[in-house]
Chain A
Amino acid sequence: MADMSKVEETINKVIGDIQEQQGLRKVELENSLEIVADLGFKSLDIAQLIASLEVELGTDPFSTGVPLADVVNMGDLYNLYQAHA
């Protein structure tokens, strides 16, 4: 398993980049924050997030059949990529 903090750090960086590019409000990221409701990510942002994480972390859990609907908040996202790292 990869270092949790490294995975989290990468996810947080990618999310920060998308927030900056799309002009979204930046908030301190924590497990309970919901990606759609709290971060304001739309379909295009989520698509970019998944693709960028594949580039940065070298893994794509969703290509193995994990439903997108299973990932609601930041904690889900951290745990999913940690498990597939």
Chain B
Amino acid sequence: MLTYSDQLTMSHVGLGNLNEYALLIAFGNAHSKALVHGLDINADQIVDAKGRQLYPAYFMTHLTVPPHLLLNSHTLWDDLEVGVDVRRFGDTLLDSTYMICQEGDGQGVDQDAMAALAGERVTMTANSLFVVDASVDNSTERQIAIPKPDCLAPLEKMAKPPAAIKRAREVRMAGLGEGETMEQLASCAPFTYELLPGRDTHANHAMIFAKFSEIMNVAEYDLLTRQLIPGLSHRLYDCLRLLEREVYYYGNCFGGERLQVFLKGKLEPCAPDFHGKNLRLISGGILTLTIEIYQEKDNTLLSMAKVKKLVAIPTQAQELKSDLDRYFHMAGKG
């Protein structure tokens, strides 16, 4: 297991607090460091027997945030402790667990903490596969690849395949609604997102995994503030805080391509102290969404996800709770 200190700088969060995208990138960095830990190379020097550069492509990420420790409680210039544990199944499949905590909180992010504090800390489990972007018939095709043994840190081996392989297939077949009534909120038309080269992608590179969550957030904003009638006010929307996001990645995309995002879900009341004892917040409700992303050009499925968010209303803005309650009343949930 690799642990190290990391400070939240403007490179991570701009002028704001910790957000989902910045956290995913931080975990991605931790993963890359762990793969070459103890070797005198960087992650971009992982190659296969032919000398081709490989990289791990995530096919599942599951981020969990405890309600009493919301991401935005970590602020610019905070010192964090980051921990990552990577194991492998065979040569190409990776299984990883991540955790962050405030440095100096006395508990750390060691192996025991990973197991014991999973529900108490910001954690992520993920699975990835080593791939190479190979040129085939004038196009780029992602292919499974095997790293040279001396390019990879010694990683603990797993005896059984990661459960996410089976789960990914089940999700692709049956979705992530899992029997819940998810039709209360549904996009009347797909949200279209155009990938701008330089902003969303880089030349000759597929989109980074964290960008999927960011696009889901943009589509969620559109659904809740523009398609919902009447839509959530921007101030109420700003109260949404991530609790959980489970994502399955079935394909990827490049700059210039257009994506279609479909959402459905529900917004339900919750206990006002759902987040714990912090008197500066009032828990107003739980938003649950299932999200699917497709290539617009040919309807290829790229990703499926389920997200849960808490409407965490600042106590000094309690009038927003009335707005939310009015929404529940209209929706028959009050």
Contacts and interface: CB of A to CB of B under 8 A. Distances in A.
Interface stretch (A1-9, A48-56, A75-83): A48-56
Interface of B: 49-50, 59, 89-93, 129, 131, 142-146, 148-149, 159-161, 165-166, 168-169, 173
A3 to B, nearest CB: 23
A71 B90 CA distance: 17
Given A63-B146, A67-B50, A68-B146, A52 B131 contact: no
Given A23-B169, A43-B144, A63-B149, A51 B49 contact: no
A37 interface: no
Nearest to B161: A48
Contacts of A62: 91, 146
8 nearest interchain CB pairs? Answer: A51-B90, A43-B144, A47-B92, A51-B89, A65-B49, A47-B93, A50-B90, A62-B146
B169 A43 contact: no
Nearest to B159: A55
Contact of A51 (B93, B131, B145): B93
Nearest to B129: A47
Contacts of A43: 129, 131, 142-144
Contact of A52 (B143, B144, B161): B161
Given A43-B144, A65-B49, 19 more contacts: A23-B173, A44-B129, A44-B144, A44-B168, A47-B91, A47-B92, A47-B93, A48-B90, A48-B165, A50-B91, A50-B92, A51-B89, A51-B90, A51-B93, A54-B90, A60-B90, A62-B146, A63-B146, A68-B144
A51 B169 CA distance: 18
A21 B167 CA distance: 10
A39 interface: no
Contacts of B129: 43-44, 47
Contacts, number: 61
A46 interface: yes
Nearest to A22: B169
B91 A51 contact: yes
11 contacts: A21-B165, A44-B93, A44-B165, A44-B168, A47-B92, A47-B93, A50-B90, A50-B146, A65-B49, A67-B50, A68-B144
B302 to A, nearest CB: 15
Main secondary structure of the interface of A (DSSP, over half): helix
Interface of A: 21-23, 43-44, 46-48, 50-52, 54-55, 60, 62-63, 65, 67-68
A61 to B, nearest CB: 10
Most buried by B among A50, A51, A60, A68: A51
A67 B146 CA distance: 8
A7 to B, nearest CB: 17
Contacts of A22: 169
Most buried by B among A44, A46, A63: A44
B90 A21 contact: no
A38 to B, nearest CB: 18
Contacts of B161: 48, 51-52
A34 to B, nearest CB: 15
Most buried by A among B59, B146, B148, B169: B146
